[in-house]
Chains A and B, each alone.
Chain A
Amino acid sequence: MSHKPRLAVFKFASCDGCQLSLVALEDELLALAERIDVAYFLEASSRVEPGPYDVALVEGSITTPEDAQRIRQIRRDSRFLVTIGACATAGGIQALRNWADSAEFLRAVYASPEYIHSLATSTPISSHVPVDFELRGCPINKQQLLEVLVSLLGGRRPRTPVHSVCLQCKRRGTVCVTVAQGIPCLGPVTHDGCGAICPSYNRGCYGCYGPCEQPNLESLSDQCQVIGVSRETLVRSLRNSFNGYAPEFRAESDRLAGEEQ
């Protein structure tokens, strides 16, 4: 009998929502468990097996000195390392501290900040170790997670789209919320994967899948200002996008913030 691939799921600073997507594959979960050996998944199983692992799914960003060490060991133990979600691929919403006085942030939350060993920044996994595949989204799309697992079982690279949310709206036939209603939308610069949900609910995309390939952010900023969105609001929207620290979004929010001063 051939060897079943060994899967491990690891958590860093995050909300659990992305690893939960694995358990949310209600129709496929039991069949998957027949073909994959779930060797390390604390949230779902009391069986805890040591590495090496064939596939590691890594959720969350690096925010403590201990975690910066732990991810190195996980890299050594894992043949194929996949980051799942915006925290692991771009630092997550907690990366807002990267623009702030992080010591002041700690004081604002904790009565005794000296007990908390936290780094000044929240950074993606790829800032610390090489990553083999990044699955985008806050949260990830469980069908894309299934594609990752099935493709790895089949020995091929996962196929996930790289186009923008804007394109997906056209495919769905959703009327453009910016053109028709003047609602600001990050859809033209945001990676698809959600299926363009927000515009179909009558609101602008807020960027939770991060930048698409070659996003034209300056053009989007100009267009937003034409429809009356202030620079301040734009900076906030890019940084609130749950992917604010992704290089393309970061560069544009820093550029706009610089112009403001």
Chain B
Amino acid sequence: MSEERTIRVEALTRVEGEGALHIRLHNGNIEDVRLSIYEPPRLFEALLRGRALEDVPDITARICGICPVAYQMSSVHALEAALGVQVMGDLRALRRLLYCGEWIESHALHVHMLHVPDFLGYESALALAKDHPDEVNRGLRLKKHGNQLLDVLGGRAVHPINVAVGGFYRLPRKEELTRLIPDFEWGLQAAIDAARWVAGFDFPRFDEAYDFVAVSHPDEYAMCEGPIRTSDGMVIDADQFEKHFREQQVPHSTALQAVRVDTGQTYLLGPLSRMNLNREQLLPAARRLADDLNLEHPCRNIFKSIIARSIEIVQAYEEALTILRDYRPAGVPRIKYEYRQGEGAAATEAPRGLLYHRYGVDAQGLVTEANIVPPTSQNQSQIESDLRNYLPALLNRSDDEVAGACERLVRSYDPCISCATHFLKVSMDRGS
């Protein structure tokens, strides 16, 4: 007698963008695990061709309303590589400051609005707020600080307008930044308290032999630049990315799977990878906190991503405070460049993991080619692999419980489906 069992989550909730989860079992064996994407494609790589390179950071920001700065940062660094210029000194520090704003805003949104309800058994942060108003309000205040920093330095929180190839359109005035310092001093302590709260939750047992991949930098917790490192010791420059990581078609799925070229294996991006590869580069308060919380090194439990994310909020506050205090406006807002035909690539750390961009440009300053590989489309095959390994321990539970547990695992990745989708090669499936 054979028994078929199908478990579906038709619409994943508390994730960015729209996706579904399909699990098919046959006689208790896992036959198929599929994270389906039914977001409509927007075809950015095609529409970027023929645009002026100055317009690229404004356009790529629109790929994602949650992490527009990540798209802008990978774009401008790749274009600057194509133009043969490098942004250094104060302008480089301001770009890190902007990225700190996005990490705080995006991480606080995910941790406090989307993810914490899973651990405390609520349907949403709105429901959670009825019983835990102080904690929810603290999370909202952290998120607001991130947005305030983006407002001042970027012009606005969603789709900032101040990022330019070569630097910025206008440098912030000293008082615009110093005004933020008292809030950020409060926020640093509040973020530490929040991380301690989160670290006290109950975590499902899970231990996976991940291949961690992240941008790494010897002198700082990497955000904008540095070689790409893997946990098995590979170190490559960003412009070698496509030689070492590829998307391959597999017979049982219409989705292309991101794998390492040399091992043929999936890999993990995001806060857990960064924490495991770059823990030595954390600033003192964040590093002390990671040790105090006894976060394993390396940590191989994806459900503990929320702890890594919470420590990264502390890191972003600490870094932002240093830059805010040291800032002295001087020099030009952006460096000059000449158009030339060329190609450039860059990888930066979006809140949810490594974001790779490559552009070709011509001698008139127009884009001839664009390739964008977002973190969630790379993590997709790792998510499916995790689910296959997590499912056996769940099979004696009801369908609803299995679906709920799997959805929690997916949510631990902070998947950004709206940005992933435009590059995922999947058939559209509304699960009907």
Residues on A lying within 8 angstroms of B by beta carbon are 11-21, 23-24, 26-27, 29-30, 33, 38, 42-48, 60, 63-64, 66-67, 92-94, 96-97, 100, 104-106, 108-112, 115-118, 122, 138-139, 194, 197-198, 200-203, 206, 208, 233, 236, 240, 242
Q: How far is the CB of A43 from chain B (nearest CB, A)?
A: 6
B71: nearest chain-A partner, CB-CB: A15
Residue ID in chain A nearest B427 by CB atoms: A115
Complex contact B42–A202 (CB within 8 A): no
A138 to B39, CA, bound (A): 19
CB < 8 Å: which of A24, A66, A67, A115 contacts B425?
A115
**Known interface pairs A139-B159, A203-B169; A29-B140 also in contact (CB < 8 Å):** yes
In the complex formed, the residue of B with least CB distance to A23 is: B113
Partner of A109, one of B11, B129, B136, B423: B423
How many contacts A-B (CB < 8 Å)? 197
**A-B residue pairs, 4 tightest by C-beta:** A17-B65, A45-B124, A105-B46, A108-B46
Given contacts A17-B65, A105-B43, 5 further A-B contacts (CB under 8 A): A16-B16, A43-B16, A92-B62, A108-B45, A233-B52
Q: With A and B bound together, what is the CA distance between A225 and B68 in angstroms? A: 32
Q: Contact between A197 and B161 (Cβ–Cβ < 8 Å)?
A: yes
Among A38, A64, A111, A203, point to the contact of B249 (Cβ < 8 A): A111
B126 with A45: CB separation less than 8 A: yes
Docked CA distance A98–B306 (Å): 42
* B161 & A63 in contact (Cβ 8 Å cutoff): no
Chain A hits for B260, CB < 8 A:
none
B425 touches A240 (CB 8 A): no
Interface flags for B19-48 (1: CB within 8 Å of A; 0: not) read: 000000000000000000011111111110
Q: In the complex, what residues of B have CB within 8 A of residue A64's CB?
A: 40, 428
Do A110 and B47 have beta carbons less than 8 Å apart?
no
Q: How far is the CA of A200 from the CA of B109 in the complex (A)?
A: 29
B123 x A45 contact (CB < 8 A): yes
Contact B109 A42 (CB under 8 A): no
Chain B residues near A236: list those with CB within 8 A.
51-52, 55
Smallest CB–CB gap between A19 and chain B, Å?
A: 8
Q: Are B158 and A17 in contact (CB under 8 A)?
A: yes
Contacting A at CB under 8 A, from B108-167, are 109, 113-114, 117, 123-127, 129, 133, 136-137, 140-141, 143-144, 147, 155-159, 161-162, 164
Q: How far is the CB of B19 from the nearest CB of chain A, in Å?
A: 10
Q: Which residues of B contact A27 (CB under 8 A)?
A: 140, 144
CA distance A198 to B147 in the complex (A): 17
A109 & B55 in contact (Cβ 8 Å cutoff):
no
Q: Closest Cβ of chain B: how far from A6's Cβ, in Å? A: 14
Whole-angstrom distance between the alpha carbons of A259 and B326 in the complex? Answer: 53
Q: How far is the CB of A105 from the nearest CB of chain B, in Å?
A: 4
Can you give 26 A-B contacts (C-beta < 8 A)?
Answer: A13-B40, A14-B65, A15-B419, A16-B64, A16-B418, A17-B68, A26-B143, A27-B140, A29-B126, A30-B129, A30-B136, A43-B15, A44-B14, A45-B127, A47-B123, A48-B11, A63-B41, A66-B430, A67-B40, A108-B46, A111-B425, A138-B62, A198-B161, A198-B169, A206-B161, A242-B62
Is residue B319 within 8 Å, beta carbon to beta carbon, of the partner chain?
A: no
Residue B66 is within 8 A (CB to CB) of chain A in the complex: yes
Residues of B within 8 A of A (CB): 11-18, 38-47, 49, 51-52, 55, 58-59, 62-66, 68, 109, 113-114, 117, 123-127, 129, 133, 136-137, 140-141, 143-144, 147, 155-159, 161-162, 164, 169-170, 249, 254, 256, 333, 418-419, 422-423, 425-428, 430
Residues A30 and B137 in contact in the complex (CB < 8 Å), given A42-B18, A197-B161, A198-B155? yes
- Give complex CA distance A117, B426 in Å: 10
**Which residues of chain B are near A43, meaning CB under 8 Å?**
13-16, 114
CA gap between A7 and B137 in the complex, in Å: 22
> Are B109 and A202 neighbours in the complex by a CB distance under 8 Å?
no
Please give, as numbers and ranges, the residues of chain A lying within 8 Å of B430 by CB-CB distance.
66
Q: State how many angstroms separate the Cβ of B112 from the closest Cβ of chain A.
A: 10
Decide: A46 and B123 in contact? CB cutoff 8 A.
Answer: yes
Complex CA gap A212/B114 in Å reads 37
In the assembly, what is the distance between CA of A46 and CA of B115, in Å?
Answer: 11
Contact A26 B45 (CB under 8 A): no
A117 neighbours in B (Cβ, 8 Å): 428
Provide the bound-state CA to CA distance between A63 and B40, in Å.
Answer: 7
B contact residues around A198 at 8 Å (CB): 155, 161, 169
Nearest chain-B residue to A115 (Cβ)? Answer: B427
Assess the A109–B155 pair: CB atoms within 8 A: no
Complex contacts, B156 vs chain A, CB 8 Å: 139, 194, 197
Across-interface contacts of B43 in A (CB, < 8 A): 94, 97, 105-106, 108-109, 118
